[in-house]
Amino acid sequence: MKRIIAYLVSVVFLMTILLTGCGSSGNSVSKGSEQSSTTANSGTKKITVWCWDPNFNVAIMNDAKAIYTKEHPDVQIDVVEMAKADLEQKLNTVLASGVKEGLPDIVLIEDYNAQKYLQAYPGAFADLTDKIDYSKFAKYKVELMTLDGKIYGVPFDSGVTGLFYRRDILEQAGYKPEDLNNITWDQFIEIGKKVKEKTGKAMIGFDPADGGLMRIMLQSAGEWYFDKDGKPNFTQNPAMKEAMITYKKLFDSGIVKKVSGWNEWVAAFNKGDTATVVTGAWIIGSIKAEASQSGKWGLAPTPRLSLSNSVNASNLGGSSWYVLNGSKNKDVAIDFLKEIYAGNVEFYQKILVERGAIATYLPAQSGEAYSAPDPFFGGQKIYADLSEYMKNIPPVNYGVYTYEADAAIMGIMPDVYSGKISIDEALKKAGEQLKNQINH
């Protein structure tokens, strides 16, 4: 009797598993076929885009999508947002596995990483040399996406840098806006000392482990961590030595508020603890997030190094769009980028006003939004100014090992700060370490 019951129970149990299993899979099949039939009926072409910042490039891509799909109702654009690290992780794994499925049609890639992807995954990205008129884009930007004479991406936002400062604090310390024009970092530190003395505020928020400022300084001199052939160049690099000296001076000067990480760094100027920010124009959104400081900000050119080849213009970050070669609707994807990002001046006015995106598409800069005064910056025409700075950014080849170099040099900085080793020794040590790390 017991046996029979046990038998019955197990049969019922198995049946339920089988039935529910079949049932659910049946459902999903019908759903799938429904979806495919709807897409097949309307004959839409679907494009998937991957990008990372919901307040910036995702929002801008959605604007672009709205404009394009109005004129091309047969195109369906799917903008997928994911964290930048996740995006890179996913792109890397899928590309390396050699699978064609699972990739987007258009992907946003940070400029520092562009050459790395182009060289690591040859043939993965579509060659756009003949499709886009690159003469209309900022030259430094096009150079970053060129490999063996072929150009691969569509330039997007610029990381043109500036010295953003609090007018009220500097005024209190006795400085006029003109006093900040075209200064060197040494002058910057001198001004900072006055500011600290008169107002008690720090001059700038400074993350001692962050190499962003270093990259700004290097590019302002037209130099990078590498020489023309992409070999690490730490020791024969006057710009780098000068940048290290400046880092140490800033660290020791007592005019910086030391912070760790992005959140603290942004909080430092949002709370009004620091008088200036030196970074890429993409920071404008974060500056404006603190509405109570409206009208109190100003913009001056980036400080330069005390070297003859250093100019008052530089770049930090920035990114571009790339089309995947394996995309099913490659032509549509290219046409989309071409029509909006390489042709629609009005679109660029819109994203500048609404999102603060500085275009590297030169015709866009003659638009009216670029010459409009910004009340948040005391009526200064900051976008016209930034466009001016952009023309002076020295082009630099970032190579493929920027992050390795950055980690090597910033890894040794604590010893430089504490005075344990001299700057020459540090450069030598970091350079050798990098060489050992990247030789293949």
Partner 1 sequence: MVKRKMEHSILCKNLSYNRILDNYGWLFISFALMLLVIFLFYPIVYSFYLSFTSSKGIVQKFIGFENYIKLFNDQMFLLALKNTFTILIIQVPIMLFLALILADILNDKNIKFRGFFRTGIFLPTVTSLVATAVLFKMMFSLDGLVNTILLKLHLLKEPIPWLLDPFWAKITLIIGMTWRWTGYNMVFYLSGLQNIPYDLYESAAIDGANKIQQFFYITIPMLKPIIIFTTIMSTIGTLQLFDEPINLSSGGVTASSVGPGNSLLTLSVYIYNLVFKYMPNFGYAAAVSYVIVFITAILTFIQFKVVGEKE
Binding test (CB under 8 A) with partner 1, winner from 323, 344, 406, 426 = 406
Q: Which stretches within 52-181 are classed as H helix? A: 57-71, 84-97, 111-120, 139-144, 167-172
Kindly tell me which residue out of 23, 32, 174, 261 binds partner 1, with binding defined by CB under 8 A.
261
The pattern of x and - marking residues 384 through 403 that bind partner 1 according to CB under 8 A reads: ----------------xx-x
Q: How many CA atoms lie within 13 A of 126 on its CB side?
A: 25
Do residues 156 and 408 make contact, with C-beta atoms less than 8 angstroms apart?
no
Binding of partner 1 at residue 414 (CB under 8 A)? yes
CA distance 348 to 342: 10
* Binding flag, residue 363, partner 1 (CB under 8 A): no
Using the rule CB under 8 A, is 265 a contact of partner 1?
yes
Task: Assess contact for 317 and 397: CB atoms under 8 A.
Answer: no
131 makes contact with partner 1 (CB under 8 A): no
Site for partner 1 in 79-98 (CB under 8 A): 85, 88-89, 92, 95-96, 98
DSSP 121: S
Least separation in angstroms between CB 290 and partner 1: 17
Q: Give how far Cα 269 sits from Cα of 16, 152, 293, Å.
A: 62, 38, 10
User: In terms of CB distance, is 39 or 235 closer to partner 1?
Assistant: 235
Burial of 339 from C-beta contacts in 10 A (0-12 / 13-18 / 19+): middle
Binding residues for partner 1 restricted to 418-437, rule: CB under 8 A? 432-433, 436-437
The reply to whether 111 sits near partner 1 by the rule CB under 8 A is no
Alpha-carbon span 256 to 320, nearest angstrom: 33
User: Is 404 an interacting residue with respect to partner 1 (CB under 8 A)?
Assistant: yes
DSSP 160: B
3-state secondary structure of 175: coil
Asked if 55 touches partner 1 (CB under 8 A), the answer is no
382 scored as a contact of partner 1 (CB under 8 A): no
Residues 189 to 208 in contact with partner 1, rule: CB under 8 A: 207-208
Q: Is 10 in the site for partner 1 (CB under 8 A)?
A: no
The binder of partner 1 chosen from 116, 141, 166, 304 (CB under 8 A): 116
Amino acid at 431: G
Sign of CA dihedral 49, 55, 60, 63: positive
294: helix, strand or coil: coil
The least CB distance from residue 50 to partner 1, in Å, is 15
Q: Which residues bind partner 1 (CB under 8 A)?
A: 85, 88-89, 92, 95-96, 98, 116-117, 119-122, 207-212, 215, 258-265, 279, 316-317, 400-401, 403-404, 406-408, 410-415, 432-433, 436-440
